[in-house]
Amino acid sequence: MRLSLVGLSHKTAPVEVRERLAFEDGDLGDALKSLAGFEGVSEAMILSTCNRVEVLAEGTDEHLIREFLCSYHRVPADSINDYLYGYRNHDVIRHVFRVAASLDSMIVGEPQILGQIKDAFRAAEDAGTTGTHIGSVMKRAFTVAKKVRTETAIARSAVSLSYAAVELARKIFGDLAGKTVMIIGASKMGELAAKHLKRSGVRSVMVTNRTFERAVDVARAFEGAAIPFDRLNDHVDRADIVISSTGAPHFVITRTLAERIIRRRKNRPMFFIDIAVPRDIEPAVNGVDNVFLYDIDDLQQVVDENLGERMTEAARAEEIIDLEVEAFWSRLRSRDVVPTIVDLQQALEVLRLDEIQRYGGDLGALSAEQREALDRLTRSMIRKILHSPISELKEMARRPDSQPHIDLIRKIFNVRDV
Amino acid sequence: MDIVLLRVALSLYSIGLVHSVVTVLSSRYTLFRVSLAAVVAGWICHAAAIALDAGEPVLTPLTDGYASFSYLAALAALGYLIAYARYRIASLSVFVFPVVFLLTFIAYMGRHASTSSVPAAIASGWIYVHLPLIFLGYAALPVSFAGSIMYLMQEHGLKSKHLTGFYRRLPALEVCDDLAYRSLAIGFPLITLGIVSGALWAQAELGTFWGSDLTVVLSLLTWFIYLLLIYSRLINGWRGKRAAYLAIAGFVCVLASFLGAGYFGGFHSFTP
């Protein structure tokens, strides 16, 4: 096995460099075939996303992959070399596992990367450039990524403000189906949060704005109802979730109003999200029973805590990956030496039979017993000769970077390459 | 009580206890599946122990005070399993499993402490109505109690805006509320019927509706608390924190009436 990987990511290269080395989806097949045409390359795969470009190949070294990147994208080597990282064998597996498990992502734990790797693998399969090596590494990487996802909380919590709002709404209401959301004022973030909520099952949307026409526009986008701003107090108690983002200099919803609303709602809980600066909702509203108020800083705090928790979970994920890499590596290695052992045994067996054929006649007529004794003698010699190289090979299976030694053993015994 | 089966049940329940402790300390549910299986297996052993009990099972709580703890434990576990089948809330187990273990443990430790026959004065057919109703009704209460505790924790987390660690594992606020209320809505009518049957029984045997022992007083107090809870929710929309506090107070009364039954004397005491 000679797996090598060369790539660059948001961690090592600015976007101007990343975009120069990116592969268009449509060109991927040709690029893969061109790489597979290089000498020694038996398998190849290319991952190209907006955050990273990585080229994985079996049967060659990093140097050749760098050459391929330069020639394919027609860029001089010294303009990109500083941004590239390269891995071999054991480290390739570790890197691939980490990337697939989203530990190397810009937002650790984001789920898209696994899908992108799966797409890249499929593209390589379609181009016919995958084989047993890349195939088994990738399949294992998918399993490990899934394991990390289920055994750690790395991707469990929201890390953007609008998703944090949805997450909180779920903490309060559980299922959002059948709930109503009201948007007061119109801002990009308010609409984004409402969009996420709607996608999570919220049934109806009410929109109100000082400019009624604007409310009508937004309401149309959500298939909701527009409410005149001066009628806000009459309708707000129908909303389970209120997202407020007006430009008003004073509070739109005061504690007194909130108390009145919650009485009208017979204490059914209510979630206020205040993303306006200056704030629209009096902070004391949070003190009303069954009312939960989050302003923009509160949401940010939730996001920060979630990110902090992701980091702790990432440390646990690294431990899982360490174990998985070692287990997978030693399995790959032992699989790697088995063909060599079989080749050795076969080559010497052929030799033995040839020699018996050639010199057997010199011994004259042999009885069945003598023939058998000759067989035993020669077999035993071969076994003794092979004993030490085979146990050495098995020992090597457990160590990284033993390929040159394996090659040397093959060479000494003159075993043909498979 | 078949002592071997009860011991097996207790050991299996202890896995549930370990799960609770581990979950609270590490906020991870690594042991949940194992402990759920253990509690199911423990419950089967427990039910078998009760079924194999010499004599008529229904009478046992009267002749052996500690057996009533065993009953309550088995019913609490059953209540949880039913709630789990309906809501799939793993975190509820954190609160119910220790209760199940503790009640079984009390039953196990004190199993020989008090054994007597049913007082002749009250041995009658009513016992077959009164006891099952009361016990089935009480099975719902630990679940309602745990739901209320989870509600208060979740509410506190949401208000204070810190939702890391164990808070993350709690079910949604409305789900906790729903769980606490619904289990009560099932348990309350059964307890009501149980109390009515008890009063009729007392009337038939003693000529008065009002047996004058503390268990009766505490049971009525519990009943009034739960009545207030359900009434104010239906009429005034009382829910949330206040409802949770009331449900917890109700459950404390239930425990007191059980624990105190032996000490207070009267018809519900188990010593002759």
The pLDDT assigned to B61 comes to: 56
Residue B85: both structure tokens together: 């089948």
| Contact list, B157 vs chain A (CB under 8 Å) | 171
Residue A294: both structure tokens together: 């989050």
Q: How far is B19 from chain A (nearest CA, A)?
A: 17
Q: What is the DSSP string of B183-209?
A: HHHHHHHHHHHHHHHHHHHHHHHHS-S
Specify the 3-state DSSP secondary structure of B261. helix
Q: What is the DSSP string of A273-297?
A: EE--SS-SB-GGGGGSTTEEEEEHH
Residue A291 corresponds to which amino acid?
A: V
Chain-centroid distance, C-alpha B245? 17
Please compute the mean of the pLDDT values over residues B49-67 and round it to a whole number.
62
Q: How far is B3 from chain A (nearest CA, A)?
A: 39
**What are the residue ranges of helices labelled H in A361-402?**
368-396
The pLDDT assigned to A132 comes to: 87
Whether the pLDDT of residue B132 is over 70: the answer is: yes
The pLDDT assigned to B103 comes to: 84
Query: How many degrees, rounded to 5, is the angle at CA A163 between CA A226 and CA A281?
Result: 55
The pLDDT assigned to B260 comes to: 64
The pLDDT assigned to B271 comes to: 41
In angstroms, rounded to a whole number, what is the distance separating the alpha carbons of residues A394 and A389? 9
Residue B160 contacts A where some CB pair is shorter than 8 Å: no
The pLDDT assigned to B63 comes to: 54
- Segments of chain A assigned to CATH 3.30.460.30: 3-156
Which residues neighbour A27 within 8 Å (Cβ) at sequence distance 6 or greater? Answer: none
More confident position, A141 or B183: A141
Residue A41: both structure tokens together: 């390359």
pLDDT band at B257 (very low <50, low <70, confident <90, very high): confident
pLDDT band at B233 (very low <50, low <70, confident <90, very high): confident
HEC per residue, A22-75: CCCHHHHHHHHHHHHCCCCCCEEEEEECCCEEEEEEECCCHHHHHHHHHHHHCC
Domain A161-298 indexed as CATH 3.80.10.10: no
In angstroms, rounded to a whole number, what is the distance separating the alpha carbons of residues B198 and A31? 85
The pLDDT assigned to A23 comes to: 93
The pLDDT assigned to A46 comes to: 96
Please compute the mean of the pLDDT values over residues B199-212 and round it to a whole number.
71
In angstroms, rounded to a whole number, what is the distance separating the alpha carbons of residues A65 and A13? 18
Burial A167-195 (b: 16+ CB within 10 A, else e): bbbbbbbbebeebbbbbbbbbebbbbbbb
Q: How far is A350 from chain B (nearest CA, A)?
A: 56
In angstroms, rounded to a whole number, what is the distance separating the alpha carbons of residues A130 and A127? 8
Are A167 and A157 in contact, with CB atoms under 8 Å apart? yes
| Contact list, B147 vs chain A (CB under 8 Å) | none
The answer to whether A173 contacts B173, with C-beta atoms less than 8 Å apart, is yes
In angstroms, rounded to a whole number, what is the distance separating the alpha carbons of residues A262 and B242? 15
| Contact list, B161 vs chain A (CB under 8 Å) | 294, 298, 301-302
Q: How far is B179 from chain A (nearest CA, A)?
A: 12
Residue A181 corresponds to which amino acid?
A: V
| Contact list, A290 vs chain B (CB under 8 Å) | 239-241
Q: How does pLDDT run across B9-24, given as a tens digit for each residue?
A: 888 898 888 888 877 7
The domains of chain B are located at 1-115, 118-272
Superfamily for A3-156?
Answer: Glutamyl-tRNA reductase, N-terminal domain (3.30.460.30)
Q: What is the DSSP string of A120-156?
A: HHHHHHHTT---HHHHHHHHHHHHHHHHHHHHS-TTS
Are A17 and A73 in contact, with CB atoms under 8 Å apart? no
Q: How many helices (H) and strands (E) does chain A have?
A: 15, 10
Q: How does pLDDT run across A24-51, given as a tens digit for each residue?
A: 888 999 999 999 999 889 999 999 998 9
Whether omega before A283 lies within 30 degrees of 0, making that bond cis, reads no
The pLDDT assigned to A229 comes to: 93
Instruction: Return the minimum-mean-pLDDT range out of A62-76, A232-246, B78-92, B174-188.
Output: B78-92
The pLDDT assigned to B133 comes to: 84
C-alpha separations of B179 from B150, B225, B271 in Å? 10, 18, 37
Are B176 and B95 in contact, with CB atoms under 8 Å apart? no
In angstroms, rounded to a whole number, what is the distance separating the alpha carbons of residues A137 and A133? 6
More confident position, B109 or B227: B227
The pLDDT assigned to A287 comes to: 93
pLDDT band at B156 (very low <50, low <70, confident <90, very high): very high
HSE toward the beta carbon, residue A49, CA cutoff 13 A: 18
| Contact list, A274 vs chain B (CB under 8 Å) | none
Whether the pLDDT of residue B244 is over 80: the answer is: yes
Give the closest residue to B95 by CA, choosing from B28, B13, B17. Answer: B17
In angstroms, rounded to a whole number, what is the distance separating the alpha carbons of residues A129 and B227? 73
Please compute the mean of the pLDDT values over residues B200-228 and round it to a whole number.
76
The pLDDT assigned to B232 comes to: 85
The pLDDT assigned to A415 comes to: 79
Q: How does pLDDT run across A326-353, given as a tens digit for each residue?
A: 999 888 877 778 888 888 899 899 999 9
Interface test with A, best of B92, B158, B246 (most A CBs within 10 A): B158
Are A58 and A41 in contact, with CB atoms under 8 Å apart? yes
Q: How many residues does this entry show for chain B?
A: 272
Q: How large a percentage of chain B has pLDDT more than 90? A: 8
Whether the pLDDT of residue B269 is over 70: the answer is: no
Residue B241 contacts A where some CB pair is shorter than 8 Å: yes
C-alpha separations of A209 from A183, A226, A235, A244 in Å? 8, 8, 13, 10
In angstroms, rounded to a whole number, what is the distance separating the alpha carbons of residues B42 and A83? 60
Whether the pLDDT of residue B1 is over 60: the answer is: no
Of A157, A298, A308, the CB nearest to B161: A298
Residue B164 contacts A where some CB pair is shorter than 8 Å: yes
Task: Tell me the average pLDDT of chain A.
Answer: 90
Give the closest residue to B243 by CA, choosing from B258, B255, B233, B257. Answer: B233
In angstroms, rounded to a whole number, what is the distance separating the alpha carbons of residues A66 and A51? 19
In angstroms, rounded to a whole number, what is the distance separating the alpha carbons of residues A283 and A295? 8
Provide block-wise average pLDDT over 10 residues at a time, chain A (418 residues).
92 91 91 92 94 93 93 92 93 96 90 93 94 93 94 82 89 92 86 88 92 91 92 93 91 94 92 91 94 93 87 91 91 80 90 88 85 91 91 78 80 73
Residue A257: both structure tokens together: 């109003």
Helix or strand (DSSP H, E) at A346: helix A296-360
